[in-house]
Amino acid sequence: MGNTFGQLFRVTTWGESHGGGVGVVIDGCPPQVKLTEVDIQPELDRRRPGQSRITTQRQEADRVQILSGTFEGRTLGTPISMLVANTDQRPEAYSEMKDKYRPSHADYTYEAKYGTRAWPGGGRTSARETIGRVAAGAVARKILKEQFGVEVLACVQQVQKIAADINSNKFTRKQVESNIIRCPDKAVADKMIRLVERMRKAGDSVGGVLLGVARGVPAGWGEPVFDRLEADLAKAMISLPASKGFEIGSGFGGTALKGSEHNDAFRMRGGRVRTATNRSGGVQGGISNGETIHFRVAFKPTATILQSQDTVSRSGKNVKLKARGRHDPCVLPRAVPMVEAMTALVLLDHALRHRAQCGK
Amino acid sequence: MGNTFGQLFRVTTWGESHGGGVGVVIDGCPPQVKLTEVDIQPELDRRRPGQSRITTQRQEADRVQILSGTFEGRTLGTPISMLVANTDQRPEAYSEMKDKYRPSHADYTYEAKYGTRAWPGGGRTSARETIGRVAAGAVARKILKEQFGVEVLACVQQVQKIAADINSNKFTRKQVESNIIRCPDKAVADKMIRLVERMRKAGDSVGGVLLGVARGVPAGWGEPVFDRLEADLAKAMISLPASKGFEIGSGFGGTALKGSEHNDAFRMRGGRVRTATNRSGGVQGGISNGETIHFRVAFKPTATILQSQDTVSRSGKNVKLKARGRHDPCVLPRAVPMVEAMTALVLLDHALRHRAQCGK
Amino acid sequence: MGNTFGQLFRVTTWGESHGGGVGVVIDGCPPQVKLTEVDIQPELDRRRPGQSRITTQRQEADRVQILSGTFEGRTLGTPISMLVANTDQRPEAYSEMKDKYRPSHADYTYEAKYGTRAWPGGGRTSARETIGRVAAGAVARKILKEQFGVEVLACVQQVQKIAADINSNKFTRKQVESNIIRCPDKAVADKMIRLVERMRKAGDSVGGVLLGVARGVPAGWGEPVFDRLEADLAKAMISLPASKGFEIGSGFGGTALKGSEHNDAFRMRGGRVRTATNRSGGVQGGISNGETIHFRVAFKPTATILQSQDTVSRSGKNVKLKARGRHDPCVLPRAVPMVEAMTALVLLDHALRHRAQCGK
Amino acid sequence: MGNTFGQLFRVTTWGESHGGGVGVVIDGCPPQVKLTEVDIQPELDRRRPGQSRITTQRQEADRVQILSGTFEGRTLGTPISMLVANTDQRPEAYSEMKDKYRPSHADYTYEAKYGTRAWPGGGRTSARETIGRVAAGAVARKILKEQFGVEVLACVQQVQKIAADINSNKFTRKQVESNIIRCPDKAVADKMIRLVERMRKAGDSVGGVLLGVARGVPAGWGEPVFDRLEADLAKAMISLPASKGFEIGSGFGGTALKGSEHNDAFRMRGGRVRTATNRSGGVQGGISNGETIHFRVAFKPTATILQSQDTVSRSGKNVKLKARGRHDPCVLPRAVPMVEAMTALVLLDHALRHRAQCGK
C-alpha cells in the first residue's frame, strides 16, 4: 500500500523482476504536453544494466511503451500508463536464494511481512522497480523545464573515500555524462572508476554519495509543516534502494558551525532577495527561497557480493551463501537518473500544489 | 495543505505562535485506550520553553486540554482534539521582525509563498507548532508500548563537536532525563551543557545530532516501495524545524566500507532470525527486520542569535537586524521529545497499515 | 479515520455532543482572504437548534471562535482552526439511552464498531457534528463567490408528500430565508410548516427532499473517473446525517425517458456552448459543463420520536424506549445550510484541483 | 487526478478506448490470496460488448493479463497490474465526432477541461474505462467471499417503466445470469428484453434502475463522519458512467413515511441484535448494522442514439449529428458487473480500514 508517490502528480509503480514486466501509472499530468517514448527512453538507458563495464552485465533493453494518456503526441490529462517488458529472466540463476536470505537484502523482511516472496531476481525488491520511477521522472523533468524553467541534475560526488569538490551551481549534464561513473570532475572520476573495477574483480562492492541539485526553483514551493520541500525530498531519496542517508544544505557538517557562522545573510542582488551563502540548501522553513537546492544522498555498498557469507535458510538453519554471476559493484552511476527522477517528482508535485493554493 | 501526517493514525496540527493557541486533531486512534491529559502533559513539559537554564526563558505552561474523542477516560475511536492556549504573547518583542526578514528563518519564504505573514513570534514557523506533534506523539507512544510492546526513545548524541558514544540498545529514558541537555553519558553531557551556556552568554548558538531508537519493533512493518519505514522516518525527521540531515543505520559513515564489511550476516539466535551486526539500522528494503531501529538527525545551530546580522527589509533594502530578548542557544534538548513523537507517529501508522493488509 | 473531507481544501471535523466542544480544521485555504467570525456565524445561526418553533428547542448559541490561520482579518494560508464550545449539556436527559439503542440511530453500530460509545447526546453521531462542516463551508462559499463567481444555494423542495415546483436558476436566498421551513414558494412553505407542527405535537417526525444548486460554475471542474464532480457531491450529501438518497439532473425520474427525449442538445448561445435543456444537471462525464448544477437529496424522517418503540438493551434484552424532551420533528430546514456547506466544499476543492492540473 | 479509488485497497485505472489498452493497478491487496486470470475473466465477459443481441455489437475479447503482484498463483502483497489490450479499433467510425460534440456525452466537457480530447471512441470517457474497475472488483469480491463471508450481488430492477419486485435477501446470481437483461424475475425480464429490442431497432435507448446488495457484512464497517459506508457507496455508484441517482434503504420513497412508520425496531433474534425491518438499508450512521445492505442506482438512457440530433461543432457552429453503427440501447445489463465491482471495492476497503483501527 505504499506504491504511490505524490499528491497531485501521482505516480504508482508496479512490477517484479521476473514476471510480465514493470511499469508506472501517472495521474494528474498537465494536458497538452508534447510526449512520446523518445522523451523517456534516454533516461531509462542511463538507468539500465549493462550500460558500461562497471555496471552489472545483465542485459535488458528496457524498451518503454506508452499505453495511454497521450494522443497525437501530446498528453491528454488522463492517466499515462507506461510499460517495460521483462526479457532477460533467468530464475535458475537465483535458485540458491529460494531457500536462503541474502544478507542486507530484503528477502527476509518481505517474507516476514507478507508470508511469501517472489525469490527469482528479488521480485519487487529488485532495482528494476525503479524503472517506473525513472520513466515518470522523465515526464516530470520535461514539464519542470518547459513550464517552470527548473533544471534538475545529479552526479556522483563520492565513491567510498574518493570525493570530488563540486559547485552545485555550475556542473553540467554534459560533464556528468562524460564518464561512466557520472562524476563531473574527470580526474576524480578516473580514480573512482579504477576503484570500482578493483571491487568488481574482487567480487566486492562500494558505496558513496550522490549530489542532487535543482536550479531555477522559484521562491515559494513547499508545504509546511509536514510536507516541507526538504522533507519530501528526504522521503523520496531514502525510498530509493540502498540509500541510507540524506542531508540538505550544510547537513551533518553544518552542526560543527555556530549560528553566527551558519546563518545565510540576506542581500538584495539583481533586484531580488538573495542569500550571501547557501547553507540552507535552497529551502527555509520547508519552502524554497529561490537559491539552488542542493542535497546529498548516501548509498551503502551493494549488498550483493560474490563472496561466501553467513546467513540463515527459510527453515531456520545457519548456512553459507555465495552469489554467482552478475552484480553491480557500485550502484552510484545507475542511481544518478533515479535521484534526478525522484527530485523531479517532488518538485513538480509541489509546483502544482503551490499553484492550487496560491494561484500562481 | 501539508499539515496532516500519517495515513491511518492521521495527525493534523494547527496554530500560530500568537493567536488563540496551537493544537492537533488525531483521526484513526484505536478505541478503548485509557487516555487523559495526564498522559500528554509530561511530554509537553519536556518540550516547553523555560524548562532549564539552557533553553529560552519564554515562560509558557503549555497546559493541554482534550476537547473530544474520549469518554470516561478512554478513547472513543473518534477524532481526538487537543488544545494548548497561547499565553505569553509579546508581539512588541517582535516589532523589528515585522519589516525585516530574519536570516536563515522562514520569514522571507512564507511571505514569498503566501504573500502574507504572521510576523509576531514567527507565526506558524514558531517552534510552538511542534506542540501538536508532541501531544499526538504521546498518544502514539502509549499505544505502541501497551499494544505492541515497542519502546521509542531519543537522546542528544552530539553538540557541535562534542560527541558521546551511545549504545542504541541500552541507554534509558532515566539516563536521558538525568541532565538538562538530555545526553545519557553524564560526563559528555556536562561538557555539552558548558558549551551551550557559553553560547547563550555570547548570544550565539550551536547545533548537533540526535539519536533516535525504537526497540521491540517486530519484523514486517513498512510499506515498500515509497512508504518504506526509513523513508517515512526521514520525512518525519526532516519535517522538524532546524533539522538538516537524516541517516539510518550506518548512514553516511557506511559509505567508507566495502560490501563485504558492511553486510549484516543473518544468524539464528534465541530461535529467531537475527543479524550479527546492525548496520542496516533495523530495516531492510523498507521493512523492519526485528532489530533495534536506530537513526541520527542533524539539527543546525539555532538561527535566532543576539548579534547584528545582514539582512533585507520587506521593501527590498539591505539592512541590519539584531534580535533582542529570549532565544534558545541550542534546540537539541527540546528536540528530543519531538524526535520521539515523530518516531512514534511513523511507527504506529505503519503498525496499523501492516495490520490492515496482512491481518496481524 | 473518515473525518477529513477534500483533497486540496481539506476539512477535518471533530467533537462530540457532550464534551469540550466541536470544531474543524481547514488546511489548504488560499491566503489573503478576508475572514473573521462575522463571515461564519450567520451560517451557524441558520443551522443551530432553537431557531424557530419547528426545530428542537435545545438552546445553544453556537458561538464560533477562529483560533488560527488568520492575521489582521485575513487568511494566512496556514490551517484555520475553529471552535464552538458545548454549553447546553444535559447528560441526564439521555440516561435511558445509556443502556438502550435508539431505533434507526447509530447507537448500536457505533458500539458494534468501537466497542464503546459516548451515549450522552449521541456523542459523535449528534447533529452537532455538522457545525464544523457548516463553519468550513462558509469559508469555501465565500471564496467561491469572491474568487470564482460561483453561487451555492439550497432549499426545501418537499416535506413528506408536499412538494414545491422550483426553478433551479431563479430562486433566491432571500426567498429561502423568508420562512422557517426554507422553501422559496411561500404558499407551499405554509403547508409544510403546518405539517411539521402537527408532527411535533404528535411526537412524530417527517422527512423530505432538499434541492441544491450551484450557479456560475465554469465548464471544466471535476476529476474523472472516480472523483467525478457528481460523485463527490453524492458522497458529500450522503455523508450528511439522515440523508438516504441523491440524484443529479434528471435522476431517478429520468429513467422513464428514452434517449431521444433525455439528451441535452448543444446550442450556441451568447457566444458560448450551452445546452437547450439541463437533464444532465450541469455535469457531463464527471465534469461541469457551464450550466447550473442541480441535485436533490432525500432525508428520512428524524429517527428521534416521542413515542414508545421496540428496541434492545446493551445486555441483549428486548425492551421499550420512549425518548423524552426535545427533538427535531423535521431536519430539513436545518439541513439547508449543511447541504450548502458540503456543496461549497466539493466545488472549491475541485476548483483548486482543476487549477493545479490545468493551470486555470 | 481522480483515477484512484479506495484508501487501503487502492485501485488506479488507466486507458483510453483507442490506444494500447486499458488496465488497472491494485495496491494493498492482502498477500497469499489464490489468484489467476481465471478469477478475473468471467467478470470481464459479463461486462464486454457483443455478449448478447441487446448489447452493442462491438466485438472485443477483452482478455485480461496479470503482469505483476502474483507468484505461483498467489498474491504477493505487492501491486497487481492487469492489462487488457485494445483490439477492435475503428477510429474512422468516429470521424464525425472529431469535430462535433455528442449531446449528453463528455466530449465537450473534456475539451473544456483539458483543451484537448481523444475523440476516437470517446477516449477516456468510453465505457472501456470500466474494464479496470471490473477486473479489480473481481479480486475484491473473491477476498470478501473467502476471508469475510460477504456476498456481493446486483441485478436489473427496472428498465424504463418496467419494474420487478425483488427481495434483496433472496435473489441469486444464477437467477440474474439466467437471462440477457440480468433481472432475476424471468417474466419481467422478458418484457424488459422486448422493450430494449424495440429501442435498438428504433435507434433509440432506455435507462433504468439497478439493485445492489451485500449480504453477510458484519456490523461495524464504515468510517464516520465523511467516509460513511453509504457515502462511499454513493460515490462509487455515481462515478459509474451514465448513473444519475443513488438511494440506500428506503431512499427517496422513505420520505413519504413518518418517523413512527420508518424506524427500524431492534429485536433480538438468533442471539444477536437484528432489525425488524430494513429501511436503513443495512447501515446506520455510516456503519453497517449486520443486515443486508441494499441500494438502488439510476442509469439514464444511453446518450448514443442513431438519430439525428442538434449539437455544436468545435468551431462553435450549430450543426446536426447522427451517430452510425454500433451502440448499446440500454447499459443496464452490462452495468450489473460494474455495480458489483464498485460495491466490492468499497466493502473490502472498509473491511481493511476497520481492521486497521479496531483490530478485528
pLDDT by residue (tens digit) across B2-53? 999 999 999 999 999 988 999 999 999 999 999 999 999 999 999 998 888 8
SS3 B157: strand
Q: What's the Rg (C-alpha) of chain D?
A: 21
In whole angstroms, give the CA distance from residue D30 to residue D16.
Answer: 29
Answer whether B4 touches C (CB < 8 Å): yes
Over 70: is that where the pLDDT of C24 sits? yes
Give the pTM: 0.98
Contact predicate C152/C146, CB 8 Å: no
SS3 D100: strand
Q: How confident is the model over C213-233, as a mean pLDDT?
A: 98
In whole angstroms, give the CA distance from residue C143 to residue A357.
Answer: 12
In whole angstroms, give the CA distance from residue B277 to residue B169.
Answer: 12
Q: Which residues in chain C have Cβ-Cβ distances shorter than 8 Å to B13?
A: 79
Residue C221, CA atoms < 13 Å, CB-side half-sphere: 27
Amino acid B346: pLDDT: 98
More confident residue, B58 or B285: B285
Amino acid B50: pLDDT: 84
Answer whether D359 touches B (CB < 8 Å): yes
Amino acid D59: pLDDT: 73
Q: How confident is the model over C253-269, as a mean pLDDT?
A: 97
Average pLDDT, whole number, for chain C?
95
Over 90: is that where the pLDDT of B324 sits? no
**A17 closest CA partner among A103, A108, A94:** A94
CB < 8 Å from B in window 10-49 of D: 28-31
Q: How confident is the model over D199-208, as a mean pLDDT?
A: 96
Residue A257 CA, chain-centre distance (Å), reads 30
Contact predicate C234/C246, CB 8 Å: yes
Q: What percent of chain B is modeled with pLDDT above 90?
A: 88
Pairing, β B208-215 against β B293-299: antiparallel
Query: Which subunits count as partners of chain C given 3+ CB pairs below 8 Å?
Result: A, B, D
Over 70: is that where the pLDDT of A325 sits? no
What tens digit of pLDDT does each residue of D143-191 get?
999 999 999 999 999 999 999 999 999 999 999 999 999 999 999 999 9
Amino acid C202: pLDDT: 95
Over 90: is that where the pLDDT of A238 sits? yes
* Lookup result for grid cell 468471467: D42
What tens digit of pLDDT does each residue of C41-78 get?
999 999 998 888 888 777 778 999 999 999 999 999 99
Beta bridge partners of C102: none
Confidence band (pLDDT; 50, 70, 90) for B55? confident
Amino acid D23: pLDDT: 98
Highest mean pLDDT: which range of A35-39, C319-323, D320-324: A35-39
Over 70: is that where the pLDDT of A102 sits? yes
- Altogether, the residues listed in chain B come to a count of 360
Q: How confident is the model over B266-293, as a mean pLDDT?
A: 97
Confidence band (pLDDT; 50, 70, 90) for A121? confident
In this predicted structure, which of A121-135, C57-71, C208-222, C248-262 has the lowest mean pLDDT? C57-71
Over 70: is that where the pLDDT of B325 sits? no
Amino acid C18: pLDDT: 86
Q: Which residues in chain C have Cβ-Cβ distances shorter than 8 Å to D310?
A: 265-267, 276
SS3 A42: helix
Amino acid B148: pLDDT: 98
Answer whether A62 touches B (CB < 8 Å): no
Over 90: is that where the pLDDT of B56 sits? no
Q: What percent of chain B is modeled with pLDDT above 70?
A: 99
Q: Which residues in chain C have Cβ-Cβ distances shorter than 8 Å to B77?
A: 113-114, 116
**D152 closest CA partner among D210, D99, D216:** D216
Sequential DSSP letters for B277-339: S-TTTTEETTEE-SSPEEEEEEEPPPS--SSEEEEEBTTS-EEEEE--S---S--HHHHHHHH
Write down the H helix ranges in chain A.
Answer: 37-47, 107-114, 130-148, 173-176, 186-202, 229-238, 259-262, 332-358
**Interface contact B8-D356, CB threshold 8 A:** yes
Q: Which residues in chain A have Cβ-Cβ distances shorter than 8 Å to D8?
A: 1
Out of A29, A353, A358, whose CB is closest to C31?
A358
Out of D225, D234, D316, whose CB is closest to C2?
D225
Q: How confident is the model over A341-359, as a mean pLDDT?
A: 98
Q: Which residues in chain A have Cβ-Cβ distances shorter than 8 Å to C8?
A: 353, 356-357
Amino acid D167: pLDDT: 98
Answer whether A211 touches D (CB < 8 Å): no
Distance from CA of C105 to the nearest CA of B (A): 17
Fold for the domain defined by B4-358: Chorismate synthase, AroC fold (3.60.150)
Over 90: is that where the pLDDT of A251 sits? yes
Q: How confident is the model over A133-157, as a mean pLDDT?
A: 98
**Interface contact C16-B117, CB threshold 8 A:** no
Over 90: is that where the pLDDT of C1 sits? no
Region of A72 please: left (phi>0), alpha (psi -120 to 50) or beta.
Answer: left
Q: How confident is the model over C23-39, as a mean pLDDT?
A: 98
Q: Which residues in chain D have Cβ-Cβ distances shorter than 8 Å to A16?
A: 68-69, 71, 76, 78
Residue C316: closest CA among chain D residues belongs to which residue?
A: D268
Q: What percent of chain D is modeled with pLDDT above 90?
A: 88
Confidence band (pLDDT; 50, 70, 90) for D323? confident
**A326 closest CA partner among A51, A58, A52, A87:** A58
CB < 8 Å from A in window 302-341 of B: 302-305, 307, 309-312, 316-318
Q: Which residues in chain C have Cβ-Cβ distances shorter than 8 Å to D241?
A: 285
Contact predicate A164/A157, CB 8 Å: yes
Over 90: is that where the pLDDT of A296 sits? yes
In whole angstroms, give the CA distance from residue C221 to residue C218.
Answer: 7
CB < 8 Å from D in window 216-235 of C: 219-228, 230-235
Domain spans, chain A:
4-358
Out of A105, A250, A300, whose CB is closest to B255?
A300
Query: Which subunits count as partners of chain D given 3+ CB pairs below 8 Å?
Result: A, B, C
Q: What percent of chain D is modeled with pLDDT above 70?
A: 99
Answer whether C52 touches B (CB < 8 Å): no
What tens digit of pLDDT does each residue of D276-297 get?
999 999 999 999 999 999 999 9
Residue A286 CA, chain-centre distance (Å), reads 21
**Interface contact D356-B28, CB threshold 8 A:** yes
Query: Which subunits count as partners of chain A given 3+ CB pairs below 8 Å?
Result: B, C, D
Average pLDDT, whole number, for chain B?
95
**Interface contact C30-A358, CB threshold 8 A:** yes
List strand residue ranges (DSSP E) for D33-186, in order. Answer: 64-66, 70-71, 74-75, 80-85, 151-159, 162-163
Residue D147: closest CA among chain B residues belongs to which residue?
A: B359
CA geometry: angle C326, C332, C336, nearest 5 deg: 120
**Interface contact A68-D25, CB threshold 8 A:** no
Amino acid D77: pLDDT: 98
Out of D2, D231, D280, whose CB is closest to C235?
D231
* Lookup result for grid cell 538561527: B303
Over 70: is that where the pLDDT of C325 sits? no
Amino acid A87: pLDDT: 87
In whole angstroms, give the CA distance from residue C60 to residue C57.
Answer: 9
**Interface contact C258-D160, CB threshold 8 A:** yes
Answer whether C3 touches D (CB < 8 Å): yes
Q: Which residues in chain B have Cβ-Cβ distances shorter than 8 Å to C1?
A: 8, 10, 27-28
Q: Which residues in chain D have Cβ-Cβ distances shorter than 8 Å to C248?
A: 238, 244-245
- Asked if this assembly's ipTM is beyond 0.85, the reply is yes
The x, y and z cell numbers of residue D17, run together, are 478506448
Amino acid D145: pLDDT: 98
**Interface contact B238-A248, CB threshold 8 A:** yes
Over 90: is that where the pLDDT of D122 sits? no
Residue A349: closest CA among chain C residues belongs to which residue?
A: C356
Distance from CA of C200 to the nearest CA of B (A): 32
Q: What percent of chain C is modeled with pLDDT above 90?
A: 88
The x, y and z cell numbers of residue A215, run together, are 536550479
Contact predicate C18/C146, CB 8 Å: no
What tens digit of pLDDT does each residue of C167-189 get?
999 999 999 999 999 999 999 99
Out of B1, B66, B77, whose CB is closest to C8?
B1
In whole angstroms, give the CA distance from residue A235 to residue A7.
Answer: 14
- Altogether, the residues listed in chain C come to a count of 360
**Interface contact C117-B1, CB threshold 8 A:** no
Amino acid D1: pLDDT: 84
What tens digit of pLDDT does each residue of A184-215 get?
999 999 999 999 999 999 999 999 999 999 99
Confidence band (pLDDT; 50, 70, 90) for D325? low
